[in-house]
Structure 1
Amino acid sequence: MKTVRILALALALAPLAGCLEVEQHPPWRAGEYNGKPDNLPQQAYYHNDRLAWNAAIANRNQLQNEYERTSP
């Protein structure tokens, strides 16, 4: 009888398990995001030089090319 009571209590409280979810949406003020703007990678690492960023990505991709790494 005791297990039936515990099971009934657990079943009754199960729908309330999701009620403690914290709000995860970013804060908005006056229709705009109220937070720190994120820099693009080329702004953070290459002083806003997009060509240097693209060259670094192309070089990294070329080093991962198996046809270029193997010798015939």
Structure 2
Amino acid sequence: MNKRFFLAMAPLLLAGCLEVEQHPRWVKGEYAGKVDQQPFQVHFHNDRLSWWATLNNRNQRQNEYNRANP
């Protein structure tokens, strides 16, 4: 009984040893990874107002009150 208990508990004790680091690396207080570009920088050549206007137009078309009453 005692031997079976320890054999059953061994995988549970070792399961915590496989945890990997999930936080980004920091070098000299700054993030050391790739800088992600914002969507307006990629698709609208860094024109933030054009990006927000496109989002606003898309949201207005999804409004049922605006679509039902032309």
TM-score (norm 1): 0.79
Query: What are the superposed Cα offsets for residues 13-41 of structure 1, whole Å, 9 maximum, x if unpaired?
Result: 31331220111111111111111111111
Tell me the CA shift for residue 12 of structure 1. Answer: 4.2
Any residues of structure 2 matched to 1:1-72 within 5 Å, and which? Answer: 5=4, 8=5, 9-71=7-69
The alignment-based identity, stated in percent, is 62
- Segments of structure 2 that go 5 or more residues without pairing to the other structure are none
Rounded to whole Å, the distance in 1 between the matches of 2:31 and 2:18 is 25
- State the Cα RMSD in Å: 2.0
TM-score (norm 2): 0.81
- Segments of structure 1 that go 5 or more residues without pairing to the other structure are none
Q: Which runs of 4+ in 1 moved over 3 A?
A: none
2:35 alignment partner, SS class: coil
Number of aligned residue pairs: give it: 68
Opposite residue 63 of structure 2, the aligned amino acid is N
